[in-house]
Amino acid sequence: MNVGFIGLGIMGGPMAGHLIDAGHTLFVYDVVKVPEALTAKGATACASSAEVAKHADIIITMVPDTPHVEEALFGMGGVAEGLSAGKIVVDMSSISPVATKGFAQKINALGCDYLDAPVSGGEVGAKAASLTIMVGGPDGAFDTVKPLFEKMGKNITLVGGNGDGQTTKVANQIIVALTIEAVGEALLFASKAGANPAKVREALMGGFASSKILEIHGDRMVKRTFDPGFRIELHQKDLNLALQSAKALGVSLPNTATCQELFNACAAHGGSKWDHSAMVKALELMANHKVAPDA
């Protein structure tokens, strides 16, 4: 397929690379320099998102937040300027479900289909092509794009209509944040009580408390490896979407709010770009004790 890819950061770069490796023709754009690793594989660097859309039949965006998607799609030199009827726009960013529905309507008005397809799995999943992909949009467009999704991820689900993919991603981020907090509390408790947190984690991995968060982020907490990964500032953005949506829906999310405050504490101590597993540092500050000594 002729595929456009806009946004080539720590997630988008590897994802685009998998599509090239699978034999697809890629037209790419980023607000910063296009990675040489992609052009060396044969990707064509474009001067704008509009130029990408002119050349590609399926256009994928993978950028940080709602305003960035809106700019990529509808700003000056945006995707909308290069679209013609019958093309498919796929947003794989994690953004507002409400805004997503509006973006879809605008793209539909141009005679094109729209899929919201946010991902979970972080940089590791992007590099390993093992991302979970949660999709909202029409069945026909999903069937067309699914072969591309299969080159980037493993667990691919069409959840429902436009916006439902983003709603699923927000739900995912609630679970991830609360589980990081739980793992942080548990390991901090164990360490303060005098147990070896690495051994406690090892023991828990064999029981009902086992999880990917305990496996990967529990290990980060013990080894003090807080380089991202997935940055705290991005998880703050996702929880902000959760809390804003909950307010609009009249739903209380008390523990989501607590996790956001812990992330805020990390950011106040210069940790916006730490991996989100570093939420444990906020708990450690309150306890005046670290899970393990810093390396």
Residues belonging to the active site = 169
CB-based contact 216:250 (threshold 8 Å): no
CA 77/CA 51 separation, integer angstroms? 8
CA 76/CA 66 separation, integer angstroms? 16
Could you identify the residue written with the tokens 């809390």?
A: 243
CA 234/CA 49 separation, integer angstroms? 23
Instruction: Tell me 277's DSSP state.
Output: G
Which tokens in the block code for residue 62? 């993978």
Amino acid identity at 179: T
Radius of gyration of the chain (CA): 20
Buried b (16+ CB within 10 A) or exposed e, 163-193: bbbbbbbbebbbebbbbbbbbbebbbbbbee
Residue 118 CB: number of other CB atoms within 10 A? 27
How far lies 16's CA from each of 71, 156, 260, 283, in Å? 20, 17, 31, 37
- Tallying the residues shown for the chain, one arrives at 295
